[in-house]
Chain A
Amino acid sequence: MQQEPVNMPSSTPPEPGPNDPKLKKKPDTLTKIILTKFFRNKLAVAGGIVLFIIVTMAIFAPLIAPQNPGDVEMDLLNRLAPPSTEFIMGTDDFGRDIFSRVLYGAQVSLLVGFLAMLGGAIIGTVMGSLAGYFGGRVDALIMRLVDILISFPNIFLLILLIAFFSPSVGLLIVFLASLGWMSTARLVRGEFLSLRQREYVLAAKTLGMKTNRIIFQHILPNALGPIIVASTLSVGNLIIVESVLSFLGLGVQPPTPSWGNMLQSAQNYTIMRDAWWYPVFPGLMIFITVLSINFVGDGLRDAFDPKMR
């Protein structure tokens, strides 16, 4: 090719090349960068530790708890006993150990919160992916459904649904999941819409990759951050909704303990006045758990945010 005089610099300073010291150190994966950022956030780490302790205690409740709530029906001698060395959180109006019930209640509350979150995240991701990838009519249809479901006050819908069926833990999880996917769907759709046009996704297509491979290799992994953050934050909310429903007698049914139905049994005036420990400990557990989850969620959000490097 004939070279013409052009106004392009001919001698140029070298680019940071292969010997650039920055490149000599061990490679950091994106995941590692995100984790490093997360661990720098003290509140998030503290939340994580507290959460870890609560989850571990819930899992090992049969080993830790002095009583098995299934075994003890009633112990009239120890009714509403204040916290002591024998009952560290006191006893309830049936004389049952509150500490044991709080531990077993943690199992139920965490399970409901976690499984409902998982269900919601899966439904939301599938719906959002469909809307975002195919666009057009599919998108319009799914998004209108989201709009409709979101504009109903969730708690009333749940109460209505549960009024028709007899409440059980399994059903509760299903209902919470099927009413909790909309914000994830919106989020995932947004991610898809922007990632679909991202140049590395276009490159994958020009290289001959098939659509499902493009979605699983290039789009979903890059949409995972926001999904994880939103899902984590939603667990706290789900635990609260479960407590409220159980408090209203529509959630987990006694004698199975959950933090919500323990609060319900504690709402009697005399108990509130004479046995402060009964409502306080389950309430405190809800508060601490939800707060820790929110700290972790906020920490994750900052860690995933590329602008906060």
Chain B
Amino acid sequence: MTPEMNTAVKSGRAQQEKTSSDVILEVKDLKKHFPIKTGILQRTTGVIKAVDGAHFSVKRGETIGIVGESGCGKSTTGRTIIRLYEPTEGKIIYKGNDISHLKEKEMRSSIRRDIQMIFQDPFASLNPRKTLGSILYEPFKVHNLHSEKERQEKIESLLEIVGLDGSFKSRYPHEFSGGQRQRIGIARALTTQPELIIADEPVSALDVSIQAQIINLMEDLQEEFGLTYVFISHDLSVVRHIADTVGVMYLGNMMELAPKEDLYREPLHPYTRALLSAVPVPRQKGVKTREKVVLKGDLPSPSNPPSGCVFHTRCPEAMEECKKVVPAFEEKKSGHYVACHLYK
């Protein structure tokens, strides 16, 4: 990374207030294919197209929800954006800079402070051998932040910010419940004062009653620190609660992307309609009760996706064209994108 870009990223932090309607993250035609390696020589004999065309953008301080069935590539999308994986194709543009192929060293000097992640499994996301104090201390040390005394104060205040007691810093993760551990994971994500947080199913492993508390905490933190979220979930009602924009993925492809209200009121893609029809939604005026759409067949394998539109094998409205031509991901109404031949 060039020095200019470094300063661009840094000054962005300061300008946060002024440019609050800016697009902070843009993902363009992102692809991540995992090679399938076999044999003694580890030759590549095929690929798993875990993500095969993800597009969206998020404005500062907003939340994009990414939904889809298990295995559709949500986690891979999140992990590629934060560059745990090297993207196969496409662009990840963070604050105007393309970070899709930055080396790990360049990532560390610029982006690693700005983007953080909250994980799904509260039992696997904290090192069982470290106290909360040292879990939260580590990022300060890595990035050389604050003085020693400030670090200790910050650790306590971070624990308090996420609703835990500052004195917990000498305790170990195994002493806490799932919800409390998730709070610790959130505190860790906040240590570097990030601007963008990728939350990969942050409440899926929790009891329903505790899910609401964590969601509320995340909303409070978003307001307090001006955070931007990429919120990954398979639960449409959770996404409906927290997101401003929602993207629907199927087999690695982004099928539909729209402001939340539009998507839930008037889903365009047959897949989105099928997903929504499976969710019990409280009655609302002006909204038709949806007929339940049951998808036929099984989810195809991402190592051998169907031709044309990847959804055609299960689509209730599939046409001849769908088997051959890949539908373009296009804006059909203002801000409402869909990849489907039904809309021309």
Contacts and interface: CB of A to CB of B under 8 A. Distances in A.
Contact of B188 (A144, A205, A207): A207
Contact of B172 (A28, A137, A139, A222): A28
Interface in A178-197: none
A218 B129 CA distance: 8
A221 interface: yes
A10 B120 CA distance: 22
Contacts, number: 120
A163 interface: no
A209 to B, nearest CB: 5
Greatest chain B CB density within 10 A among A8, A33, A202, A221 is at A8
Interface stretch (A12-20, A71-79, A254-262): A12-20
A206 interface: yes
B82 A18 contact: no
A23 B177 CA distance: 10
Contact of A5 (B79, B117, B282): B282
Contacts of B125: 199-200, 203
A4 B209 contact: no
A139 to B, nearest CB: 8
Interface in B195-246: 208-213, 215, 219, 237-238, 240-241, 244
A204 interface: yes
Contacts of A23: 168, 171, 175-176
B175 A8 contact: no
Interface in B144-178: 164-165, 168, 170-172, 174-177
Interface string B242-259: 001000000000000000
A26 to B, nearest CB: 10
B188 A203 contact: yes
B329 interface: no
A7 interface: yes
B188 to A, nearest CB: 7
A248 interface: no
A114 B260 CA distance: 65
B191 A15 contact: no
Contacts of B113: 208
B42 A137 contact: yes
A63 interface: no
Interface in A208-237: 208-210, 213, 217-218, 221-222
Given A9-B208, A15-B210, A30-B172, A207 B139 contact: yes
B112 interface: yes
Contacts of A207: 112, 116, 138-139, 142, 188, 191-192
B335 interface: no
Given A140-B42, A206-B112, A208-B139, A7 B282 contact: yes
A221 B176 CA distance: 21
B212 A9 contact: yes
Interface string B102-125: 000001100011011101110011
Interface string B174-198: 1111011000010010011000000
B127 interface: yes
B129 A204 contact: no
Interface in A1-48: 1, 4-10, 12-13, 15-16, 18, 22-23, 27-30, 33
A70 interface: no
Given A200-B124, A203-B188, A221-B129, A27 B282 contact: no
B40 A6 contact: no
Nearest to A12: B209
A112 to B, nearest CB: 33
Contacts of A218: 127
A6 B237 contact: yes
A148 to B, nearest CB: 12
Contact of A18 (B165, B170, B211): B165
Contacts of A33: 174
A205 B284 CA distance: 44
A153 interface: no
B121 A199 contact: yes
Nearest to A219: B127
A224 B84 CA distance: 25
Contacts of A8: 208, 211-212, 215, 237-238, 241
Contacts of A29: 172
B339 interface: no
B212 A209 contact: no
Given A1-B219, A9-B212, A30-B172, A200 B127 contact: yes
Given A203-B188, A207-B138, A207-B139, A7 B117 contact: no
B117 A222 contact: no
Nearest to A309: B174
B209 A9 contact: yes
Interface in A106-163: 136-137, 139-140, 144
A18 B116 contact: no
A209 B142 CA distance: 6
23 contacts: A7-B281, A8-B208, A8-B211, A10-B212, A13-B209, A15-B177, A15-B179, A15-B210, A18-B165, A23-B171, A23-B176, A27-B171, A30-B172, A199-B121, A202-B119, A203-B185, A206-B115, A207-B116, A207-B138, A207-B139, A208-B113, A217-B138, A221-B129
Interchain residue pairs A-B with the least CB separation, the first 10: A208-B112, A18-B165, A199-B125, A199-B119, A12-B209, A200-B127, A199-B124, A208-B108, A207-B139, A27-B171
Given A199-B125, A210-B108, 20 more contacts: A1-B219, A4-B240, A4-B241, A6-B237, A6-B241, A7-B237, A8-B208, A8-B238, A12-B210, A15-B180, A15-B213, A18-B165, A30-B128, A140-B41, A144-B40, A200-B127, A206-B84, A207-B192, A208-B112, A208-B142
